[in-house]
């Protein structure tokens, strides 16, 4: 089983220190883990655990101070802003807590945005957007604008948008954070459907309610990996996160 | 990102805020409008002025007789209540100038100094004896009948200017050619009507449109060179051979030299008495052109300042726009928009704004120019080049004032804006 697994991304000793005036604030103090293709991963941690910083690094929006980040076999630490943007465009599908849809665009146009930046031709964009809308069960809403949709529907549009360039993984930042419980569960169901179809998903959340739903949950504390819960193999690892040095 | 998608995106964004877009480009609209109006009006005025000067003939030197100031004048004959004066251009002057290098012909005119009456009212019309080439030299046209011919030297015939016709005859008179006009004891049959369409004024003669012309030979035979006038009980006797020379040169590039030589000769010959004047239309033309150009530059600069203000206004609003749309920019960057895509998006928006503003401004400017020129009775000089220039300038302003906000937009850090809210 283990031999057939393919690496989606790999983090090796990722550190991030913010320099504020004369103070150095270490936020990530050496984070290591890998994510395999097809996995549904949860990243959890309380405020100040370094979760958001890790999210930004995973999403190529921020660069680590040191460490190795390999995304789909590409080492990204030394890449330029242009190259990072390109990788973000085609290898990462973003889903935000606040949906971040463009209110003046229709559902279809919203779904097409990443393809526009990837330079996909118009007729192909229409075709893929329709397929993705079908996948998130919004085919009948293609001509609507986000203001005419419910929160759950908006998030489904965002999920459809994240899928269009067939990314290596979906990076979801608290995707249920702005939704009520029932709608949140619906979105989780949608992610499960995608996961079953083979999509790699990394979800950053502080909601412990969904812990059993992920393949693995990576807990952060004090800028370090603290605990890994493996629901597939039913194992639980704990790591020392005390401030030693 | 494809250019077509980029353009469509920027245009859609502008259309989202139509009122704001229009308000934003108001500065450009009025700026371009005033530049276009200024250019059109001053170009129209310039063309009008230049056409008038040009119609005097750029290859001409115009010499005219001027009654010298009484001081320094020989008044020895001032007895018996009469004034006797000899002054002005002479046959000797004509001969000498005609034989200068570079002089082709000299058309001459002499005023008979006879009052032309209609009933008992004196008309503002003079009778001139002119050489045959006078019509061509003053760039006038015959609009009815014919011009004087050498054979007319023994006939009492005349050609009248278009304005003189209005004075002499009533408007209802359709057939003027063949009619007789009386001048003092003489009568002349009208053989033609001439017009100078530019309304040129010739030094020493006035507008040819206001005059009656007979042949030089007839004039010499009837009026000679001496004229008697009774002014306030005193008879003044004046001997004037010629009132006007229209000297045509062979080579315009040497007109300066020829005019200076003529002036030097006349000064010497007339003992430095200023009983003559010289006008070189080309010189006036050059001066006029220069002052008009300065005028145009000054006016356009003032209008250009309003363009600058308009541009700054647009920059201001675009900067606010960038701030307002931080979240959109951050999301676009996360979803794969390159910095270049963001720069182009905002830059195109600004260029669209200024170009559309420029286009409306051109229309506004042409309208203003049209109104002003109509009111001032100037010809309008619309030039396609002004319009292209204005559109180019407004697009250029878009680039100048759009670059900084666009650059600012691209510098937005997506991390800072994505987690906001």
Per-domain residue ranges of chain A: 38-64+78-238
Distance in angstroms (rounded) separating the CA atoms of residues B173 and B151: 28
A38-64+78-238 fold: Rossmann fold (3.40.50)
ipTM for this prediction: 0.92
Tell me the average pLDDT of chain A.
91
Distance in angstroms (rounded) separating the CA atoms of residues B110 and B131: 9
Q: Do both B83 and B232 map to the same domain? A: yes
Q: N- to C-terminal Cα distance for chain A?
A: 38
The verdict on a CB contact (< 8 Å) between B335 and A104 is: no
Asked if residue B388 belongs to a domain, the reply is yes
Asked if residue B80 belongs to a domain, the reply is yes
- Considering only CA atoms, give the Rg of chain B: 34
Q: Does B82 touch chain A (CB under 8 A)?
A: no
Q: Do both B123 and B13 map to the same domain? A: no
Asked if residue B60 belongs to a domain, the reply is no
Tell me the per-residue pLDDT of B269-305, one tens digit each, with 9 for 90 and over: 998 888 999 989 888 888 888 888 888 888 888 888 8
For chain A positions 190-219, those within 8 Å of chain B (CB to CB) are none
Asked if residue B279 belongs to a domain, the reply is no
- Domain range for residue B393? 3-52+287-418
Residues A101-126 as b/e (b if ≥16 CB within 10 A, e otherwise) read bbebbbbbbbbbbbbbbbebeeeebb
CA–CA min distance B413, chain A (Å): 8
- Provide the pLDDT confidence category of residue A40 given band limits of 50, 70 and 90: very high
Q: Do both B111 and B39 map to the same domain? A: no
pLDDT at residue B406 is higher than 90 = yes
pLDDT of residue B80: 53
Tell me the per-residue pLDDT of A50-98, one tens digit each, with 9 for 90 and over: 888 999 999 999 999 999 999 999 999 889 999 999 999 999 999 999 9
The verdict on a CB contact (< 8 Å) between A85 and B333 is: yes
Q: Do both B141 and B15 map to the same domain? A: no
Q: Does A96 touch chain B (CB under 8 A)?
A: yes
Distance in angstroms (rounded) separating the CA atoms of residues A193 and B151: 113
Last residue of a domain, one of B252, B274, B296: B274
Pick from A81, A98, A114: which is nearest to B336 by CB? A114
Pick from B16, B337, B415: which is nearest to A61 by CB? B415
pLDDT at residue A245 is higher than 60 = no
Q: Do both B198 and B304 map to the same domain? A: no
pLDDT at residue B81 is higher than 70 = no
Alpha carbon of B165 to those of A82, B21, B173, B183, B185: distances in Å?
A: 83, 60, 10, 14, 20
Q: Is the pTM of this model over 0.80?
A: no
Q: Do both B321 and B394 map to the same domain? A: yes
Unique residue bearing structure tokens 């283990």? A2
A245/A193: higher pLDDT = A193
DSSP codes joined into one string, B54-121: HTT-TTEEEEEE-PPPSTTS--TT--TTEEEEE-SB-HHHHHHHHTSTTEEEEEEEEE-----EETTE
Mean per-residue pLDDT, B224-246: 83
* DSSP H/E element including A241: none
pLDDT at residue A121 is higher than 90 = yes
Tell me the per-residue pLDDT of B319-355, one tens digit each, with 9 for 90 and over: 999 998 988 999 999 999 999 999 999 999 999 989 9
Q: Do both B99 and B209 map to the same domain? A: yes
Q: Does B12 touch chain A (CB under 8 A)?
A: yes
Asked if residue B33 belongs to a domain, the reply is yes
Token pair of B205 as six digits? 């003669």
CA dihedral of residues B152, B156, B161, B163 (deg, nearest 10): -170
State the total domains in chain B. Answer: 2
Mean per-residue pLDDT, B24-45: 85
The verdict on a CB contact (< 8 Å) between B419 and A88 is: no
Cβ neighbour number for residue B247 with a 10 Å cutoff: 28
Asked if residue B88 belongs to a domain, the reply is yes
Asked if residue B121 belongs to a domain, the reply is yes
Asked if residue B280 belongs to a domain, the reply is no
Q: Do both B389 and B410 map to the same domain? A: yes
């Amino acid at each position: 089983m283990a031999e057939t697994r393919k690496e989606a991304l790999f983090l090796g000793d990722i550190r991030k220190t913010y320099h504020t005036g004369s103070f150095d604030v270490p936020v990530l103090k050496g984070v290591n883990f890998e994510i395999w293709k097809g996995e549904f991963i949860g990243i959890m941690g309380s405020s100040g655990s370094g979760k958001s910083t890790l999210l930004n690094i995973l999403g190529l929006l921020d660069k680590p101070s040191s460490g190795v980040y390999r995304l789909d076999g590409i080492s990204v630490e030394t890449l330029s802003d242009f190259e990072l943007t390109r990788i973000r465009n085609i290898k990462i599908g973003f889903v935000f807590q606040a949906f971040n849809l463009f209110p003046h665009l229709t559902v279809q146009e919203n779904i097409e945005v990443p393809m526009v930046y990837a330079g996909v031709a118009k007729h192909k964009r229409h075709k893929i957007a329709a397929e993705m809308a079908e996948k998130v069960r919004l085919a009948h809403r293609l001509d609507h604008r986000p203001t005419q949709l419910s929160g759950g529907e908006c998030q489904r549009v965002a999920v459809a948008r994240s899928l269009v360039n067939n990314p290596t993984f979906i990076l979801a930042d608290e995707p249920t954070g702005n939704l009520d419980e029932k709608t949140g569960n619906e979105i989780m169901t949608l992610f499960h459907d995608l996961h079953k179809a083979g999509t790699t998903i990394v979800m950053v959340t502080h909601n412990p309610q969904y812990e059993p739903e992920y393949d693995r949950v990576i807990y952060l504390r004090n800028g370090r990996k603290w605990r890994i819960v493996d629901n597939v193999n039913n194992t639980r690892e704990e790591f020392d996160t005390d401030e030693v040095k | 990102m494809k250019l077509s998608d980029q353009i469509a995106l920027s245009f859609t964004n502008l259309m989202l805020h139509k009122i704001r877009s229009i308000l934003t480009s108001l500065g450009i609209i009025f700026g371009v409008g005033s530049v276009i109006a200024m250019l059109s009006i001053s170009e129209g005025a310039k063309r009008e002025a230049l056409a008038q000067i040009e119609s005097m003939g750029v290859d001409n030197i115009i010499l005219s007789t001027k009654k010298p100031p009484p001081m320094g004048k020989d008044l020895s004959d001032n007895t018996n209540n009469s004034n006797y004066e000899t002054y002005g251009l002479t046959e000797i002057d004509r001969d000498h100038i005609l034989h200068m290098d570079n002089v082709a012909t000299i058309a001459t005119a002499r005023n008979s100094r006879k009052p032309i009456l209609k009933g008992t009212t004196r008309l503002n019309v003079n009778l001139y004896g002119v050489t045959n080439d006078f019509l061509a030299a003053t760039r006038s046209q015959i609009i009815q009948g014919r011009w004087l011919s050498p054979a007319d030297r023994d006939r009492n015939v005349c050609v009248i200017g278009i304005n003189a016709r209005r004075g002499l005859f009533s408007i209802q008179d359709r057939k003027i050619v063949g009619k007789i006009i009386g001048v003092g004891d003489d009568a002349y049959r009208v053989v033609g009507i001439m017009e100078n369409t530019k309304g040129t004024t010739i030094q020493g003669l006035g507008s040819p449109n206001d005059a009656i012309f007979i042949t030089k030979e007839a004039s010499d035979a009837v009026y000679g060179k001496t004229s008697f006038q009774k002014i306030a009980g005193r008879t003044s006797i004046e001997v004037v051979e010629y009132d006007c020379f229209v000297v045509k040169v062979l080579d315009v590039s040497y007109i300066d030299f020829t005019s200076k030589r003529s002036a030097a000769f006349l000064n010497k010959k007339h003992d430095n008495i200023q009983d003559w004047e010289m006008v070189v239309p080309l010189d006036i033309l050059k001066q006029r052109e220069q002052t008009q150009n300065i005028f145009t530059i000054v006016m356009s600069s003032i209008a250009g300042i309003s363009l600058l203000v308009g541009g700054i206004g647009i920059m201001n609003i675009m900067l606010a726009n960038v701030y307002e749309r931080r979240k959109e920019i951050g999301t676009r960057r996360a979803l794969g928009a390159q910095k270049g895509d963001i720069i182009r998006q905002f830059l195109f928006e600004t260029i669209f704004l200024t170009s559309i503003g420029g286009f409306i401004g051109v229309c506004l400017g042409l309208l203003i120019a049209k109104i002003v020129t109509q009111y001032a009775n100037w010809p309008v000089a619309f030039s396609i080049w002004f319009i292209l220039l204005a559109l180019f300038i407004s697009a250029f302003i878009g680039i100048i004032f759009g670059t900084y906000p666009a650059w600012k937009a691209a510098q937005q850090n997506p991390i800072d804006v994505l987690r906001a809210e």
